[in-house]
Amino acid sequence: EPEVTQTPSHQVTQMGQEVILRCVPISNHLYFYWYRQILGQKVEFLVSFYNNEISEKSEIFDDQFSVERPDGSNFTLKIRSTKLEDSAMYFCASSAGEPTDTQYFGPGTRLTVL
């Protein structure tokens, strides 16, 4: 069964460093998303991406964040200068041909900022 994959599973970085979180969505899916979950809290929407551009972004998704689909398979989230409060689990999701199709989530990347 096709699934969303994410790498790395755990990333530890120093405050102020740049990190790139990688995702491989389900092939033939057209809509891509990033969410984050601070430990013990609810899952929060960050950004949606379709047709090589951002469809919507939340207030959390400020200028420190960017997304890219560098090739036909990867979808990345970059945080330019990490802060302590960026420590969280980051989930990538993808959905098929319609925006209302079910979003399938990857296993997540746990980001720890020291």
Partner 1 sequence: AQKVTQAQTEISVVEKEDVTLDCVYETRDTTYYLFWYKQPPSGELVFLIRRNSFDEQNEISGRYSWNFQKSTSSFNFTITASQVVDSAVYFCALSETRGGSEKLVFGKGMKLTVNP
Residues in contact with partner 1 by the rule CB under 8 A:
31, 33, 35, 41-45, 48-50, 55-56, 58, 89, 91, 95, 99-100, 102-108, 110
Residue 7 to residues 58, 88, 94: CA-CA distances in angstroms?
Answer: 23, 15, 15
Of the pair 49, 65, the CB lying nearest partner 1 is at 49
Of the pair 17, 58, the CB lying nearest partner 1 is at 58
Q: Is 54 helix (H, G, I), strand (E, B) or coil?
A: strand
Of the pair 82, 94, the CB lying nearest partner 1 is at 94
Cβ-in-10-Å burial (0-12, 13-18, 19+) of 98 comes to exposed
Work out how close the CB of 24 gets to partner 1 at its nearest, in angstroms, rounded to a whole number.
15
